[in-house]
Every structure is written in structure tokens, then in C-alpha cells.
Structure 1
């Protein structure tokens, strides 16, 4: 019975993660007006699911890190009361944040759950130093790094996109006959690259004009960056949640647990992501397509790099940190919303700790 309850609580946490996190890879698509919410969340959910499946093969380091090993004694990491407390505390925290429209870190909630449940079960043997050094510091540093990278990269991408998208350039080919002597004639083709509307691209006899759809390519690059962020999120978050079911035993292997978590994440994202989507897409800052593309590139690089090396960064903190960088760069950030998000980040870990601690006392 306890194992079934653990699976249900883990799936509840995975659904909360999907509702709060799936849209984060595609929020810039909505905010820049490229895609509507429904299309963006379906797009992001599919890419997240692909990343979740890939995590089975590429991100086992995160599954080990979030099993609780080194934070509590190894024998405790397989204790059902401990695991139930972690899952319950983290799930309640993330669902509360989702209901209020605040983008919070499931990683922080899980870390808080591990610490709170550990204090309830084995108060003298909780590895606070290990948790701080190996897990908490990357979570705190990653949003600051994302903000700084966004301040540098986003304006450059924005300027490049604006310059390229002013008007679609074109390639023209002029064909003329060249006569070399009375018996020899040949066709010579001249290739010209120019801005659309220039004289070089004006219609003329023997001239072929081909427009290069640069704006379409840039929009597709934005879609590709959103897919990459969502893939990275699935790669980074799935093993953290699946670790709870794997640690609980019952014959659930990494593959089965991960696929189950991916399914619950997808359902949560499709059914309950509207409030967080509104916050990230419209309430943090104004953005155009170039700024959205730059922010997504920052998030992709940081999250995929962290997943590859087993560093538990939060996709939430990285992607939202990139939005903060956009806001700082264009001066259109909404200070009240940013303060509320930062407050929610500060509350996430202690709230999950308190809830997990309470559950741990009840269940031990």
C-alpha cells in the first residue's frame, strides 16, 4: 500500500512539474507573439517528453544525486516514510506555486523535501554541507549566470535579427549572351546578392530573382531554440523525480519510472499551465522575437551543459533568469512581478522542507 501511495505522490509531483515547467521553454514564443499558448504548450510538451526519454540514457548522474544519498544514510534513502515525505512536501509546494501563477523550481522543492524529511527521520545524520556544496550552490548561481549571459547575448541577437529581418534579401542571376567570334556564342550568368527592393533585384529581361526568406528562417530558429530548452528541461527534471520511485523499490527500473514520470509531466503541462504561462510570457517583461530567441539560447546552453555533467541547476531559475536579463536590457521589466517571483523562489525550499518534515513526523 505504501509503495502505491509513493507512486501516486510521485506522479502528482510530476504533474505539478509539468504544469509549472513545461511552458518555460516556449514562454518566449508566446511573449513575442510568434505562437499562441495552446500551440506553444503542445510544442513544448512534446519536446519535453523527448528530453525525458533521453534522460534514461544521458542523465543518470541526476537520478543518483536526487536519491538522497549522502544527504541521509543510504539505508534511509529506500525508506518509504522518507520517500513519501519528500514526494508529498515537494508536490504540495509546486502545486501551490502553480495555482498562484508563480514559476518555481521543482529542483528546489525536491531538495527542500529531502532535507525536511531527513531531519524528521534521522535529525543527527543529515548532510547539510553536502547538500549545500553539491546541490544548493549550483541552484543559486545558475539564475545569476543566466541573467549576465542574457545581458550580453540578447542585445546582440536582437540587433542581428532586426538587421536581417528588415527586408528579405534576394539572389539575382543575370543571363547575357557573349559572342566571341562569328561562330562562338556562350551564356554568362552574373550572381548578385542584394537587399530586397534594391535596383539590383528589380525585374529585368533575362534576370531571375529569388527572395531569401530570412525572417521565416529566424522564426524557425526561435522555434528550434524553444524545442531545445524544453528538451533540456525534460532531460534535467525527469531523473530527479523518477529517483523517488526507483529508490522505493517494487521492481520499478529507471526506464519504467522515467516513462511514467514523462507521461504525468505531459498531462500536467497540457491541462494546468495557463497561469504560469501568463506570468512568464507577459508579466515579467515585454520582449520581441529577437530577445526571445536570445533568452532561449542562453537557457539551452546552461541547462543542457548542466544535465550533461550532472549539475542540478533549475530550468526555472535559468529560463526566468534569462527573462530578467531581457528586462534589465530593455528596461521594460515589471518590478512587482519580479519581486513576487524572487520571493516565491526564496520560499520554495523552506516551505517544502517544513511540509516534508511534518509528513516525516506523521509517517515515521
Structure 2
């Protein structure tokens, strides 16, 4: 069928809405009419750094309505509201033990540009277009593997829910699924974008006594305080490590590092108490550490976390439930943009004007 999609032709190009052809869903796949989709830093990385093939239709935080089912699909029906999350094989040891974020074929399925069987669902001028994260949700419609489509509560505004598929589940899941801080513990979040603010809301749900937000923008620190941070630190105006130690006494038990800035990664380790853990979730270049002073001498740990170590079909409905209960007000991060303002949405995200842009694709 003919659909509209935002095509990126080559590295660094702006997005251009064009007519493309979408194949019918194959075995185990569904077609989804996209209602809205989040704009994520990972899309910008793919566009600007070329981590996936071109030409490509990006977008990986889609939310929509199931329109058609391929053969062999169970658990979903036409008309279901779904959030689209990352692709995973569902068969390897990590998938089968509840860790699909480190699926053996995660990189191939999400960044390789093709579906599970190596074929393509999108074409323009009879040439294949690459798929992103098994969904390519910068489009009016997407064909996805059914296991990547998470059925959600139809009572909740579907347009809000797309970011739960990646950025928001990354922040919240890092806290609730991987770090699992004990009641009354201390946790520092470095960087108050969508991922970091989601981690702050999750730390409040977990019952952390001290939730410390670190950023360089006072407006984001104010929002962090509204969402559950007990203390805020402006890293440009204050000495972060000293302030964390002053607030906590001996350093924080946990940290979530979202910025990907090497100096901040080191701060997240240096501000830990002995046996503390820092979870690195930002795309981070090479970092130079004094392993003895920053890590080993006090038994600290540094762990990488992808997609919040989440099982989307379990975790995303939990986040929706928290939202309905008023405990996870992630809607305060969202600003909606018309689909034709996609390039402006990316620019506003880059400049820090909007925490989480979401494109409205259809009603």
C-alpha cells in the first residue's frame, strides 16, 4: 500500500516526507497505523553518524492502532492500541531469560536496516528503504514483528505513549529493573532530559530518600524538582562531586549517567560511596579513568544499561498504570508537533527547548 514516510536519503540530511510503498505484513507481523511517534536522540545519531544504512525511514517510538495481522499472530487483534518498542529475536538465551535488550542479534535487528528474515517492507521508486528498530515509525503506517508491539490501555491518550517504547523506558527501567534501589537509598541522575527525568520519577516510585538531579539548565532542574528530585545541582555553578557528598554524607549509593560526557561519567563514579553503582545509559565516547581511584579501591561498579533492561510487554503496561495512578507524570515532558514540523522538532530537542518532542501523525 502507498503511505507517507519521512525519508532520510543520506547521512546528515533533513527528513523529507514522501510517498513510499509498504508491503503487507508477513508471517508473525502486524500493520500499525501510526498515531504519534517520539523524537529521540538515537534517531539524530542514526541520521548524523550513519549507524544504519541509507536511504532509511527512521523513528522508533511509535504508537498506533493495529490495522492488519499477518499469518501466525496471536495476542493482538485489529483495533488494538499498541506501543512499538525495540526489535529482538525472542529465541536467544538472553531473550528467553528476560533480557531482550541484549538479544544476540540486537544490533542487526535494530540498526541493520532489514526485517528478521533479511527482507524489506518499505520501497520507493522500486528501491528498498532501510527500516529502523524494526518499525520506522516516522511514517503514516508501519509493519512490525508482533513481539515488538505492546498492547496498551485504550483509555489512555495513545498519542502520549510512544516515548515509552524507548527513551522513557530507558530511564525508568534503569532504576526499577537494573539498579533496583532499596527504600530510603540515595540516587543521583546526571542529565535532566527525557531519560534522566524518567529516572527521577522512577526513583521516587522506588522510595529513594535522596534523589539528586544534576544538569546545567535551571529550567530542567526546576522540572526535576517538580517530578521528584529532593535536591538539584547546577553543574556549571557548583562543584558536583563535593555537593553530592555534602548532601549524602559519604556519596550516593546509585547514579544514572545520561549525558555521555566523559567528565560527567567520571563525576558519577567519584561521587559514589564505597560499593556504589553507576549505570551508564548515554551514548559515550572514550573515557579515561583512574581505575584504582575512581573504581576499584572502594569496590564501586560501573554498568552499561540498554533500554532500561526492560521486557517491553511487561514494563510498558506497568508504566502506563503508574501514569494512570498519578505516580509517573511523563506527560509533563512532552510537547506535540505536527508531522510536517519534524525537522523543527529535532532542532528544538537539540537546543534543549523541548524535553520530549512527539510528532502527531494521525488521529
TM-score normalised over the length of structure 1: 0.21
Larger RCO, structure (CA 8 Å, separation 6 or more): 1
Normalized per residue, the structure richer in helix is 1
TM-score, normalised via structure 2 length: 0.21
